[in-house]
Chain A
Amino acid sequence: MGILEDQQARIDQLGGIGCGRKRKEDARFIQGKGNYVDDVKLPGMLHADFVRSPYGHARIKSIDTSKALALPGVRAVLTAKDLAPLKLHWMPTLAGDVQAVLADEKVGFQYQEVAFVVADDRYIAADAVDLVKVEYEELPSITDPFHSMDPDAPVIRPDLDGKDTGAHGKRKHYNHIFTWEVGDKAETDRVFETAPVTVKEQIWYPRNHGMPLETCGSVASFDKVNGELKVWVTSQAPHVVRTVVSLLSGLDESKVHVVAPDIGGGFGVKVGVYPGYVCSIVASIVLGKPVKWIEDRVEHLAATAFGRDYHMTGELAADADGRIQAARFYVLADHGAFDSCADPTKWPAGFFNICTGSYDIKAAHVTVDGVYTNKTPGGVSYRCSFRVTEGSYVIERMIDVLAQKMGLDKAEIRLRNFIKPEQFPYQSALGWEYDSGSYEAGLRKVMEVCDYAALRREQEEKRKRGELMGIGLSTFTEIVGAGPTKICDILGVGMFDSCEIRIHPTGSAIARFGTKDQGQSHRTTYAQILATEVGIPSESIMIEEGDTDTAPYGLGTYGSRSTPTAGAAAARAGRKIRAKAQKIAAHLLEVAEDDLEWDIDRFVVKGVPDQAKTMKEIAWAAYNRTPPGLEPGLEAVEYYDPPNMTYPSGAYLCVVDIDRHTGEVKVRRFYALDDCGTRINPMVIDGQIHGGLTEAFAVAMGQELPYDKAGNLLGASLLDYFVPTAVETPRYETDFTVTPSPHHPIGAKGVGESPHVGGVSAFSNAVIDAFAHAGVTHLNMPYKSSTVWKTIHTLNLDQRA
């Protein structure tokens, strides 16, 4: 065996960065041995269920719990009055607002939590819910955010009466939450006044729901003897939950043990802290017994945080060649009855200001107004960090609008406006420093593989025959990996993340992280990063997360932050291990540290390849033969504060055919080229892309949570809420370019949310493109057959020969 073959064999044996190793998570899931929150069973455990408001807006006149309490097996019925003495009837939200844990004299949205019933089993609890009699006086509801700030609008939040300043500055109206501005307004306005071409469009990104297949839930168990509380919870950020619980309950944080066990999908919905978690904890403390609360699907869709609901006005100014000179965006954000967005503290509209996208736009300005309505609170991500999808959507739509107005091809206009490779690091007009990107290369590859020119010719032919075919492009840039602690925190805790690794004497290892997997394959991919960094096979590295007693503090998994933050922590912890291992190896080989070089899984004396110590040998020595002055053991901890965000990007192409007599949209082809920097596990990346694209498809084609004027939520069950099956879901082709992040230790950028962020625009642009020849520049999602047909019918495109 030659040296190269030997090295390749050793690389293969490691199963490190770049290999498509099979997942370590799978063995238990495929055998029914997962451990989700509802699988947790404790002796004497009680079950809880909520009484919820049937009204969108109402005063609570009385609550009579006597009949429920009389039902055998009912242990307690908690209302706001019971929580008030503990000061737990309200809780702080991540957005700097407060939210009623149980409705305090008034409900602000349909399905709001009014009373919490605790019983011996879930059947009795469900019966008792029906026996709680609540008397309501219905109030007028606001479900259209454009009327939230009417002079005579109903007061949604009397508790904020007289407060003209909120967590994010001045409030203009009692139903106003914040105004957030970024960019140079004067310069942007100036460019718009003189630009040869301007376009403007109203674009709504509808309210939807991430809807993981597992609903939310918690099991709280308070140990009165030791004053300790253990909580199993469906959380993407268990450490933050521990801090919140400690702050709310007054228990020492060391006496609060939070466990996020297996999580059946999160997609951002499981970032927040919900009334059910708080109530189960209070009930356990009060009753001295474990209390389980598990949502049903209707509750999940109706009361647990929604996504989006951004009413956006996009404007672009361009020169005569279609080069964008300025961008201006206004957003009216519908936050529901409480502001419980899960954004970093200083970012009330998240990172919406990524809305200049992949394009070199010198002047830009954004204004976002957040308002209350009588709807479910939320506005968390749906597989997207912090309003990135909304920002990306509005620019990817607007550039199509501009192309159409100027009669330019939609690929051509992108090529003219891309930020060029030599411009990185690139300072965006709205304050970001993009790390790296190869936008033109990506789009050109997609155009070539899919023969874009031929598709346009085909479309031309079809249009002559009256057929509807659309080609959608999305050349998005994401912003993920929140984030530098100087600008990003949640409740004051900086958004670093962490890795702690211990190498055992026999050369296997355990590593723990502050993030929390919900399907992203951390057990598999973190081990790959560590394998490459420390030279131990990934098969021998066990990964743990989710137990706050054992894992180092971290801010959790959402917004594609795990690889940019905890993945970086892994690499750097691994390097600390290697640094110590080098000292031990030098001692063992009786050479100076500098005489050694790292070679895959060992330190080798420079120029003397057979003089080497493998990491396995070094691990053993770390426990018995460390050099004088060096402590035994082989462990490292890294709390990684990223210097910047990472900026994954992609070029997607979607082709749709539309049945002009039914409005049905059929996705004929979807080609997704992603650039997530260094690729850790191609198999896992493809899986993430497939899943994110499918969610994007669902968002574009059918997901909605509409309300009627009275504040009733229409369609909060799987009978109505659109989740595609295997039959409707398109097939995807995936591809990639690799432009590493220069500031990330291994150059990785994160990939989970890219397909969602980029996918929605691609599907949307494809559908709208099918109508471009009829002068249509925008159609709001979702593209249900009914709404698409209405467009067809209105435009007379369904004429029969």
Chain B
Amino acid sequence: MIPPSFAYRAPASLKEALALIDESGDDAKFLAGGHSLLPMMKFRVSEPAVLIDLGGVPELQGIREAGDRIHIGPMSTENEIIGSALLQQKCPLLPEVARWIADPQVRNRGTIGGDVAHGDPANDHPAVMLALEADFVLRSSQGERVVPANEFYFGTYFTAMEANEVLAEIRVPVLGPGTGYAYKKLKRKTGDFAIAAACVLLTLDRGICKRIAITLTNVGPTPLRASAAEQALTGKAIDDAAVENAAQLAMQICDPAEDLRGDKEYKTHMAGEMVRRAIRQALERAKEAK
């Protein structure tokens, strides 16, 4: 399998990258880790005339703390996310999720930015970004704008990002002590996309759920936020009945695509099951942290 021909550019700065995309027009694409784009090109589903490789852009690298936020360079590979001491300490959800993605080799190339910006509902980070209420910094030659993750995903491969923009930074909150978190992913085998997955973040106040985020992977055209389920739990003690209620509410918003991994009914139920399991684990972690 051979990709079509393209012009290759390797800018050394963000400014240069943005200038290149402006001059290259609609047929240009940014290349991050290449583990979605290159296979698509080999299958000739995607045929960009110009590839602008972001691998040498220093501004897109690195993970650093900025007050109560962590700023993540989108070219950080999944393995860099896993290995980041800062994230392990301040936002351990992200390394945990990254471990569920693909396989060791792919995690050495695949980037968090590519995963987030590609718009593929099967990717794992987007739902996590919704739960974290992350912000995406989008940069073009015209300037910068910050789009909340919860306003970023419009449809499959369709996001708030314009063709001339690059995802310049991902900002996630530092998870306070006492925050319970979990990402539960059901998959056929290592490296496969989720049949369904659920992300849960919650904080407790004397046994009462103070705040909870529940989001879902690969059960709709975009990552989904189960707002009704969140509302049903907020302000309540989370007992078995409450978990069950939340799972049922989460299932109601699912509209998964059928494939060899399962039909709509199965994937919807699995989203519910992953929600149950994620809430329970997050709850345990929140209690442990106390």
State yes or no: do A and B touch (Cβ within 8 Å).
yes
Give the interface of A toward B (CB within 8 A).
122-123, 126-127, 130, 296-298, 661-664, 702, 704, 706, 714-715, 720, 722, 724-725, 727-728, 784-786, 789-790, 793, 800
Are A785 and B186 interface neighbours, CB within 8 A?
yes
A-B contact pairs, 29 of them (CB 8 A): A123-B2, A127-B2, A127-B4, A127-B5, A297-B1, A298-B1, A662-B270, A662-B273, A664-B186, A702-B188, A702-B189, A715-B260, A720-B260, A722-B188, A722-B189, A724-B189, A725-B190, A725-B191, A727-B190, A784-B261, A784-B262, A785-B186, A785-B262, A786-B262, A789-B270, A790-B265, A790-B266, A793-B269, A800-B244
Are A786 and B189 interface neighbours, CB within 8 A?
no
Are B261 and A786 interface neighbours, CB within 8 A?
yes
B59 contacts partner chain A, Cβ-Cβ < 8 Å: no
Summarize A's interface: helix, strand, loop or mixed: loop
CB distance from A476 to the nearest CB of B (A): 27
CB distance from A801 to the nearest CB of B (A): 9
B195 contacts partner chain A, Cβ-Cβ < 8 Å: yes
Add 17 more A-B contacts to A127-B4, A725-B189, A790-B266 (CB < 8 A): A297-B1, A662-B186, A663-B266, A664-B186, A702-B188, A702-B189, A715-B260, A720-B259, A720-B260, A725-B103, A725-B191, A785-B188, A785-B262, A786-B195, A786-B261, A789-B266, A789-B270
CB distance from B110 to the nearest CB of A (A): 15
Give the contacts of B122-143 with A (CB-CB under 8 A): none
Q: Digitize B98-117: 1 where CB-to-A-CB distance is under 8 Å, 0 elsewhere.
A: 00000100000000000000
A661 to B276 alpha-carbon distance, docked (Å): 11
A722 to B259 alpha-carbon distance, docked (Å): 13
B44 contacts partner chain A, Cβ-Cβ < 8 Å: yes
B263 contacts partner chain A, Cβ-Cβ < 8 Å: yes
Are B1 and A296 interface neighbours, CB within 8 A?
yes
Task: Give the nearest-CB partner of B42 in chain A.
Answer: A296
**Residue in B188, B195, B262, B265 with the greatest tally of chain A CB atoms within 10 Å:** B188
Residues of B within 8 A of A800 (CB): 244
- Ranked 8 nearest A-B pairs via Cβ: A786-B262, A126-B2, A786-B266, A725-B190, A727-B190, A296-B1, A715-B260, A728-B189
Summarize B's interface: helix, strand, loop or mixed: loop
Q: A123-B2, A298-B1, A662-B273 are known contacts. Are A727 and B262 too (CB-CB below 8 A)?
A: no
A790 to B270 alpha-carbon distance, docked (Å): 11
Give the contacts of B161-190 with A (CB-CB under 8 A): 186, 188-190
Residues of B within 8 A of A664 (CB): 186
A107 to B5 alpha-carbon distance, docked (Å): 30
Q: Digitize B40-65: 1 where CB-to-A-CB distance is under 8 Å, 0 elsewhere.
A: 00001000000000000000000000
Task: Give the nearest-CB partner of A789 in chain B.
Answer: B266
Residues of B within 8 A of A122 (CB): 2
Are A786 and B5 interface neighbours, CB within 8 A?
no
A297 to B262 alpha-carbon distance, docked (Å): 23
Residues of A within 8 A of B273 (CB): 661-662
A308 to B290 alpha-carbon distance, docked (Å): 57
A297 to B42 alpha-carbon distance, docked (Å): 12
Residues of B within 8 A of A296 (CB): 1
Residues of B within 8 A of A784 (CB): 188, 260-262
Residues of A within 8 A of B270 (CB): 662, 789
A126 to B4 alpha-carbon distance, docked (Å): 8
A126 to B260 alpha-carbon distance, docked (Å): 29
Task: Give the nearest-CB partner of B186 in chain A.
Answer: A662
CB distance from A124 to the nearest CB of B (A): 9
Residues of B within 8 A of A725 (CB): 103, 189-191
